[in-house]
Structure 1
């Protein structure tokens, strides 16, 4: 493993600062988390985007959220085909092992993954159409959402609508998982769709009665 390098100095310094302050002040809590295990209230499926800080948005502490991040906060449909399914595995663990009460899909503005999907579906990104593109094949999950919004004339409006479609597609796909569907039916689990406006600090939630996202 000679290709692995030492941690950058600035990260070492930040770690040491955390260990001397936050950890030292909450040592008992951290040890309790370690010995008693995690019991998060909710799972959050969010984007890998570094600007989306789930714990900060909700003021969450360690142990509150089981967080899974991927490109464009997508949940694929249920497909037990023996292939590698990181997101599906995370959902299964959250529901069947951790028994979370909520699954939250959190989308956001100016999403690079969604933009890539928009470009690919518009014929402007042939590299993403290549079978070898991990990003392109992942963003195939969102193709049905693009079909729903392709009629929107303004490109910025179309992309913003597609960001919200990423949330809705994921909610639809969640229900294809038998263990999710059963937990929802038994009222042991609820699923929620959110969209975060990074620039304005806004948060919108999908309201099924109005069939649209509304401010929280």
Structure 2
């Protein structure tokens, strides 16, 4: 029995009608029905009854609601896993030579990273980013991009193709690469090549 069929057995016939109505309504109008509209369409006794069915569907993982947004009820899409290539190691300490190794991958669900852009992963060496929750041996998933905002944690290429993982800050006439470890000092460079921004940290045990 697959996951979808087992989930469907967890809901009642009425709850199936609720989710089918939400899908149909959202597909036609581009936004979700209100609880009042669910009540009227299915001829439920009260709005609280509609709310009860919606909460049950949320608990079953079949719909979700974005907080603080009206009409943000939506059927949950099937989540597919994607394979992110691990291209080598990155220094969270002294810079190391930038290497690209192919073969190993890490599996993530689509909802764990941004849907646009290219991604790759690197193993972390060193302890310069521990105050950002990035530890030696962790895997960081990087969104490949040539720019970054101040304060973002980036893959930076400096000097003669040396790679390092640091927070980036642009100052008057230089760029500061700041470790997240109070025992370490920042690097200052006139020129830094950004190869991407950290989107996810995967802890390895």
> Quick check: TM above 0.5?
no
Q: Which has the higher strand share?
A: 2
| Bin of the TM-score, shorter chain as denominator length | under 0.3
Higher relative contact order (CA 8 A, sep 6+): 1
Q: Please report the TM-score for the alignment, with normalisation by the length of structure 2.
A: 0.26
Q: TM-score, normalised by structure 1?
A: 0.25
